[in-house]
Amino acid sequence: MGRLIDQYIRNAEERERAEKVEALAAIFADRASVHDREGSFPHQNFADMHEAGYLKLTVPKEFGGEEISLYELVSMQERLAYGDGSTALAVGWHLGQVLHLRTTRKWPGRLFDELCRAIVADGAMINTFASESGSGSPSRGGKPETTAIRTDGGWLITGRKTFSTLSPILDRFVVSAYIPEEDSTADFLIYNNDRVSIIETWDTIGMRATGSHDVVLDRAFAAEGSRLSGKGIDDGGGWLLHIPACYLGIAMAARDFAISFAQMYRPNHLQGPIAELATVQQSIGQMEAELRTARCLVYAAADRWDQEKVSRPSLKSELGLAKYMATNNSIKVVDMAMRIVGGSSLSKKMPLERFYRDVRAGLHNPPMDNMVLHTLAADALNERNAD
Ligand SMILES: Cc1cc2nc3c(=O)[nH]c(=O)nc-3n(C[C@H](O)[C@H](O)[C@H](O)COP(=O)(O)OP(=O)(O)OC[C@H]3O[C@@H](n4cnc5c(N)ncnc54)[C@H](O)[C@@H]3O)c2cc1C
Decide whether any atom of ligand 1 lies within 6 Å of the 173 Cβ: no
Q: Whose CA is nearest to atom 37 of ligand 1?
A: 136
Decide whether any atom of ligand 1 lies within 6 Å of the 137 Cβ: yes
CA of 140 to the centre of ligand 1 (A): 8
Decide whether any atom of ligand 1 lies within 6 Å of the 368 Cβ: yes
Q: Across the chain, how many H-helices and E-strands are there?
A: 10, 8
Decide whether any atom of ligand 1 lies within 6 Å of the 333 Cβ: no
CA of 351 to the centre of ligand 1 (A): 26
Using the predicted structure, report yes or no on whether residue 308 has a pLDDT greater than 70: yes
Decide whether any atom of ligand 1 lies within 6 Å of the 167 Cβ: no
Q: Whose CA is nearest to atom 50 of ligand 1?
A: 163
- What pLDDT shows up at residue 387? 58
Categorize the per-residue pLDDT at 167 as very low, low, confident or very high, splitting at 50, 70 and 90. very high
The arithmetic mean of pLDDT across residues 26-37, rounded, is 98
Categorize the per-residue pLDDT at 386 as very low, low, confident or very high, splitting at 50, 70 and 90. low
Instruction: Give percent of the chain above pLDDT 70.
Output: 98
Residue 266: partners with Cβ closer than 8 Å, 6 or more residues away: 272, 273, 274
CA distance 73 to 95: 8
- What pLDDT shows up at residue 326? 98
- What pLDDT shows up at residue 136? 82
> Quick one: 39 exposed, middle or buried, by C-beta within 10 A (0-12, 13-18, 19+)?
middle
Q: Of all atoms in ligand 1, which is nearest to the CA of residue 127?
A: 8
Decide whether any atom of ligand 1 lies within 6 Å of the 130 Cβ: yes
- What pLDDT shows up at residue 232? 87
Angle of the 316-341 helix axis to the 369-385 helix axis, nearest 10: 140
Angle of the 85-104 helix axis to the 70-83 helix axis, nearest 10: 170
157 in helix, strand or coil? strand
> Quick one: 270 exposed, middle or buried, by C-beta within 10 A (0-12, 13-18, 19+)?
exposed
The arithmetic mean of pLDDT across residues 47-66, rounded, is 98
**Which of 165, 176, 202, 208 most suits a substitution to test ligand 1, by most atoms within 8 Å of the C-beta?**
165
Decide whether any atom of ligand 1 lies within 6 Å of the 365 Cβ: yes
CA of 327 to the centre of ligand 1 (A): 15
> Angle at CA 244, nearest 5°, toward 330 and 332?
10
The arithmetic mean of pLDDT across residues 84-91, rounded, is 98
- What pLDDT shows up at residue 189? 97
- Give the up-direction half-sphere exposure of residue 3: CA atoms within 13 A in the CB hemisphere: 11
- What pLDDT shows up at residue 140? 84
CA distance 112 to 333: 39
Instruction: Give percent of the chain above pLDDT 90.
Output: 95
What's the pLDDT tens digit per position in 335-373?
999 999 999 999 999 999 999 999 999 999 999 999 999
Decide whether any atom of ligand 1 lies within 6 Å of the 204 Cβ: no
What sign results for the dihedral spanned by CA atoms 220, 224, 225, 229?
A: positive
- What pLDDT shows up at residue 139? 81
- What pLDDT shows up at residue 231? 76
CA of 123 to the centre of ligand 1 (A): 29
- What pLDDT shows up at residue 204? 98
Name the helix (H) or strand (E) containing 227. Answer: strand 227-228
Decide whether any atom of ligand 1 lies within 6 Å of the 372 Cβ: no
- What pLDDT shows up at residue 224? 92
What's the pLDDT tens digit per position in 228-278?
976 789 999 999 999 999 999 999 999 999 999 999 999 999 999 999 999
Q: Whose CA is nearest to atom 44 of ligand 1?
A: 370
Q: Of all atoms in ligand 1, which is nearest to the CA of residue 131?
A: 11
What's the pLDDT tens digit per position in 98-144?
999 999 999 999 999 999 999 999 999 999 999 999 998 888 888 99
189 in helix, strand or coil? strand
The arithmetic mean of pLDDT across residues 68-89, rounded, is 98
Q: Of all atoms in ligand 1, which is nearest to the CA of residue 364?
A: 21
Decide whether any atom of ligand 1 lies within 6 Å of the 140 Cβ: yes
CA of 265 to the centre of ligand 1 (A): 40
**Which of 100, 131, 175, 185 most suits a substitution to test ligand 1, by most atoms within 8 Å of the C-beta?**
131
Categorize the per-residue pLDDT at 313 as very low, low, confident or very high, splitting at 50, 70 and 90. very high
Angle of the 12-38 helix axis to the 352-359 helix axis, nearest 10: 100
CA distances from 225 to 85, 153, 187 (A): 35, 9, 11
Q: Which domains does the chain have, with CATH numbers?
A: 4-122 (1.10.540.10), 128-228 (2.40.110.10), 238-381 (1.20.140.10)
Q: How many C-beta atoms surround the C-beta of residue 350 within 10 A?
A: 16
The rounded radius of gyration (Å) of the Cα atoms in the chain is 21
CA distance 137 to 18: 33
